[in-house]
């Protein structure tokens, strides 16, 4: 017998245990692919100000998050923890997109459950490495910037697609190659290999965000370039952080004209 999609996704979002959440998320993708879930329309769409997460890490202002040199084992653990926190938040982010925007077609759900399952695998890989290094997820302070933007854009799927995948997640494409190089210089090949897996799949995640942003613009007969500029002005005071990884962003669905405009907004 088929299960209710949105109820199942909601329960996965609320799950606090990261390991259980990761497993539930991967199961959801398989169940959806296999036709075991139906879209249970008509129910209340909960706001979800606080998704399921463990008591730790302690969430603080971004300026209070510890930063360490990668020349020491401790510094590398702290940095890997920050990546694990990003991936854990990204699970909830992708699940929320599949849960919240019910006017979107089945392909939208397919895409975001795929993203959620891949983010769950990223978290599992990083969490296992933290364990092997004698640490664990939750050992260090972290911030909640990504989920804050999820909350700010929950009223409009176009805003969500424009600002979360195309701005916040795409920023990971800009900074990860440098992090891989630094881990390599520190002799941590396992970290390099893990980040390489994550980097390649994150390009696909940003591409999915670009796809649905353009879909929404076409559906509403909006100019994508102007719409994006207006949203950056509204949410980021018209400024973005650079520099940008042009090669990765082009693979993720941006074009050179857009990238030139992004440079203007830095």
In tens digits, what is the pLDDT along the chain, a chain of 266 residues?
789 999 999 999 999 999 999 999 999 999 999 999 999 988 899 999 999 999 999 999 887 887 778 989 999 999 999 999 999 999 999 999 999 999 999 999 999 999 999 999 999 999 999 999 999 999 999 998 889 999 999 999 999 999 999 999 999 999 999 999 999 999 999 999 999 999 999 999 999 999 999 999 999 999 999 999 999 999 998 789 999 999 999 999 999 998 998 888 88
Residues 6+ apart with CB under 8 A from 118: 201, 204, 205
Residues 263 and 259: their CA atoms lie apart, in Å, by 6
Beta strands of 63-193 (E only): which ranges? none
Dist CA 206 CA 248 (whole Å):
10
For 38, the 3-state DSSP assignment is strand
Q: Judge whether 74 and 176 are in contact, CB under 8 Å.
A: no
């Amino acid at each position: 017998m088929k299960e209710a999609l949105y109820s199942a996704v909601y329960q996965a979002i609320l799950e606090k245990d990261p390991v259980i959440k990761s497993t539930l998320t991967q199961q959801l993708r398989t169940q959806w692919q296999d036709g075991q879930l139906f879209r249970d329309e008509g129910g209340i769409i909960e706001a979800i100000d606080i998704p399921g997460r463990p008591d730790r890490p302690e969430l603080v202002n971004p300026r209070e998050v510890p930063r360490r040199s990668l020349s020491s084992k401790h510094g590398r653990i702290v940095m890997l923890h920050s990546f694990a926190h990003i991936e854990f938040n990204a699970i909830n982010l992708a699940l929320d997109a599949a849960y919240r925007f019910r006017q979107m077609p089945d392909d939208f759900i397919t895409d975001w459950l795929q993203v959620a399952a891949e983010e769950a695998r990223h978290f599992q890989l990083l969490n296992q490495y933290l364990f092997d290094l004698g640490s664990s997820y939750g050992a260090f302070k972290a911030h909640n910037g990504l989920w804050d933007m999820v909350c700010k854009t929950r009223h409009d799927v176009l805003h969500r697609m424009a600002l979360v995948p195309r701005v916040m997640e795409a920023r990971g494409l800009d900074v990860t190659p440098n992090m891989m190089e630094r881990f390599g210089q520190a002799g941590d090949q396992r970290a390099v290999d893990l980040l390489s897996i994550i980097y390649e799949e994150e390009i696909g995640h940003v591409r999915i965000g670009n796809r649905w942003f353009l879909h929404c613009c076409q559906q509403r007969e909006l100019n994508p370039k102007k719409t994006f500029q207006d949203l950056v002005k509204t949410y980021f005071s018209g400024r973005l952080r650079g520099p940008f990884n042009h090669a990765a962003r082009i693979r993720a669905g941006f074009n050179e004209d857009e990238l030139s405009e992004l440079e203007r907004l830095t």
